[in-house]
Amino acid sequence: MAEFTLELNDDQKQVRDWLHGFAEDVMRPAAAEWDEREETPWPIIQEAAKIGIYSLDFYAQQFFDPTGLGIPMAMEELFWGDAGIALSIVGTGLAAVGVLANGTEEQIGTWIPQMYGDVDDVKVAAFCSSEPDAGSDVASMRTRAVYDEAKDEWVLNGTKTWATNGGIANVHVVVAVVDPELGSKGHASFIVPPNTPGLSQGQKFQKHGIRASHTAEVVLEDVRVPGHCLLGGKEKLDERLARARERAKAGGGERVKNAAMATFEASRPAVGAMAVGTARAAYEVALDYAKTREQFGRPIIDNQGIAFQLADMRTQIDAARLLVWRASWMATTGKPFTSAEGSMSKLYASEVAKKVTGQAIQILGGNGFTREYPVERMHRDAAIYTIFEGTSEVQRLVIARTLSGMPIR
């Protein structure tokens, strides 16, 4: 078991510096353009693929880093570059995590490579869980998957929303209800292969922030997928549903996780790291500005009102990173989140990102409110962290339930 450490090893430092260089030299110069265009930055994804950042091998290396710090370190550097472009580069990872969390070895080996494509023909993937009437309330999910035993096929019907890469993805991972009576315990995840009839893109959302990332509805109309596209396989699903039914009859017992929550639990510290990257970027802009901007004959950082804000900003960013690193290390080394440490890291880091980017605008004054400086974009981008993959309110609910052992509502 890897010991917890705050010191990156030489290999990690090399990767960090490599990612930082890509973020600084490739992502940042293009950030404003793709934010304005509100389109997927395919040329930037292509550049990331050429040097090995957008690839299964790279994310596998970071995912299997024995210290647990590979993924959060990578997320922080890329989102330091630009959140919208970074989400376009890493958005496929959520679908990949969905397969890793729920799939068999054969499914992992078959589908994850197809999510990324290759250097000459890059692809993206989408994880589809949220619905128009079921965001945080996963128990209200309406998308249905019905098994056609005669053809060994699953038939999917429903509408998903807020799907990163939804509709433009090569591979979609869809969470659907297979047993409505079991609520969230009756869910399962399915692979929808490329060019499957019946899957289409619905509304593409015009967003407040992360505008270089494609977000859309995914409509499923009698979508038929082979039986082997059920993640984990039917035998495992039947066993899990049987346990859930027995538990429901007994009124308690073993807790059975649903497919969507298994994916979110694995990814929450990574989202925290994204928030840290955006917060750090805004803080650095504000610090440099405060050192060079003069009012009344001296740099504004000479004023306690500015200096103290910057001190608080840096302290909060470092505290958020520590929570993210702790949760990531715990997840990698198999330590249970007995106090909902994963949710803690995501909650605190996302709130810090919103606060720090807002303070950065305040320090830049009128300039911070214009698009001439990047902090207004960073502030818009930071708003998403308290919303996606579990709102701040949901994180607090998870933490409170874990600490109290009570079904707090």
Q: Please return the burial class of 366, using the count of CB atoms within 10 Å of its CB with bins 0-12, 13-18 and 19+.
A: exposed
Report the DSSP pairing between strands 153-164 and 144-148: antiparallel
11-16: long-range contacts, CB 8 A cutoff, minimum separation 24: 12/65, 12/67, 12/69, 12/70, 12/73, 15/62, 15/70, 15/73, 15/74, 16/73, 16/77
The one-character DSSP state at 27 is I
DSSP letters of 371-394?
TTSTHHHHHHHHGGGGTTTS-HHH
A 10 A CB-CB count for 120 gives 8
Q: The tokens of 52 are what?
A: 């090995």
Rounded distance between C-alpha atoms, residue 46 and residue 325, angstroms: 29
User: Rounded to whole angstroms, what are the CA distances from 232 to 40, 99, 108, 303, 335?
Assistant: 31, 9, 10, 59, 24
Active site residues: 389
